[in-house]
Structure 1
Amino acid sequence: MLFLFNSNFFIFIIFFSTLISISSNSWLGCWIGLEINLLSFIPLISKSNNLLNSEASLKYFLTQSIASINFLFSIILMMIFMKNFEINNIFSMLINSSMLMKMGSVPFHFWFPNILEGLSWLNCFILMTWQKISPMILLSYYFNNKFLMAIMMINVIIGGLGKMGFNQLSLRKLMAFSSINNLGWLLMALLISENLWLMYMCMYSFMILIMCIMFYMLNIFYLNQLYNFNMNFVIKLSIMINFMSLGGLPPFIGFFPKWIIINFLLNFNFFLICFIFIMMSLIMLFIYIRIIYSSFLFFNYKMKWFKIFISNKMFIMINMFNLISLMGMILSTMFFL
């Protein structure tokens, strides 16, 4: 019966369930919102009759169910032992861990790249952006600083080295490790200020949206497709601009929120964390530059049967997004000065 509904219906339920979670007055209401979110996202994953989609929906259901059970269990225990502050510290770690598992954060990140590999680009965008909002806001309600500071650093390290160590050929897995890396930055932004987190989340969602739209229109899922096919030079340039913005290279707009976070870290003398964050961003940029360099300079097979049909309106929109990504850093700096 679930498949009789339109995809837009489930997207609306996902949006509505997130609002339930973040506006609830009790932990039980937050848990109900998370469960509605889970049950509405699974039909979107398994809509097409594909073996990878069915496997991804099953894995997603199991991991999210385990995280929800841990969350509910820690809430009940916290209500029983409310007056014991030492035990409350353990419960805060349990609640944080369940939220980290829902987001696909380190050390519970092993399901995230595998599930992302079996999704369409629309579902990839939802999982990398919107599905992180309610767990992160719930995480801010019961923040365990020392525990999450270590998690942030490991997130950034695993996200940066994961692409290099596993030598990824899949673009979806590449985006998954990029999401894990940016999750460390998002957690740090949430620790500093909720307004900074909101700005970072909006800019990150904007960059991921552009990438997913471009890969969806070009029907690209693997790196060798960037090398082999004779694409338009402007399309390759657009992909390069978005990769650089996602990696945080100035003057692209992706550098702006990272610049603010680095300033805060330096002002509060977190030099080691700042060094780790910057070094992992440089590793990510090295990987992106290597991909783009190869796609520009490798020999292209010009196949007569391979054609990419892109409407002029969509192409103009993508170029406008790239212009915003390129000029956004300069304009935002002028605005804040």
Structure 2
Amino acid sequence: MSRGSPVVTATGGPRGPAHLVLTAAVARRYYLDGRSKVEIAEEFALSRFKVARLLDDARASGMVRIEIGHPGAIDVDLSSQLMATLGLTHCVVTDTPEDDPATLREHLGAAAAELLAEVVTPDDVLGLSWARSVSAMATALRSLATVPVVQLTGALARPDVDDSSIELVREVARVSGGPAYFFYAPMAVPDAATARALRRQPEVAQAFSRIGSVTIALAGVGAWAPEQSTLYDATSEAERSALAEQGVCAEISGVLVDAAGEPVRSALTDRMIGITAAQMRAVGEVIAIVYGRAKVDAVLAAVRGGMVNSLVTHSTLAEALIDAVRAGAPGVKGAG
């Protein structure tokens, strides 16, 4: 091109200063202000076809560069990698720092809410187990197919917990518009006889009768260690030690499992009011919302045991899980 020749645009006309200014203004209205092409055409007294050509020119010239991203900072590549490594049905990994647990729960809850809104259909039955991360999901949830919502575990009364399994189910059912099946009972009671009596109570029995129809469930995963499981923190020191000696590695919705993912039967199991290991394994998809690198072994145990087959987590835990599998963690689908 000779010096002084006009620059040719994608629309076939010269790109002078006026054209550049008009193109930039139209692009700003469309991409940043969210205005429709019809609205832009009316504002600038242009045809819709002229607006479309200007937007094409903005992209072709490099004035507008479109990058594929996600407002929730989802790491798409790491999500795909972890999903393949563990053989998961769904996997969402957020690029969120681990140093602020409250912010981490908020981001994971928002990501889980988006996933749930996407995958739940009117043919599903949704089951909810209480966990701080699941509660964060309920807070972020804005839309959901009209489905029954079933409580899977009793309430865990703790001074640092503001809500409960009951409120969790009610909140999600309000968004869904479907029926809520909940019950007033603690997660664990003092003895097995009390647990048996409570399970026979009408509202508990009604909710439990629905567990077999649950197709998608949300749960947390706790490592059997201090501050890594609300159930662990709620038990006595003697019981924690005894369960550790029995090989308990993790708990998923109150279900205790060893490092191989096999259920560990104990006195605590008999005192629990909630979903059983067999029932959890029968659910088509169990989505665990998990955070903290200390839970690597617990997550792998939950996946090995068929208790969990989808994950919402953050990048540092996802990388640690992949590293553990590559280092030879046994019995994980997709490893090697």
TM-score by length of 1: 0.26
Considering only CA atoms, is the larger Rg found in Structure 1 or Structure 2?
Answer: 2
Higher helix share: 1
Higher strand share: 2
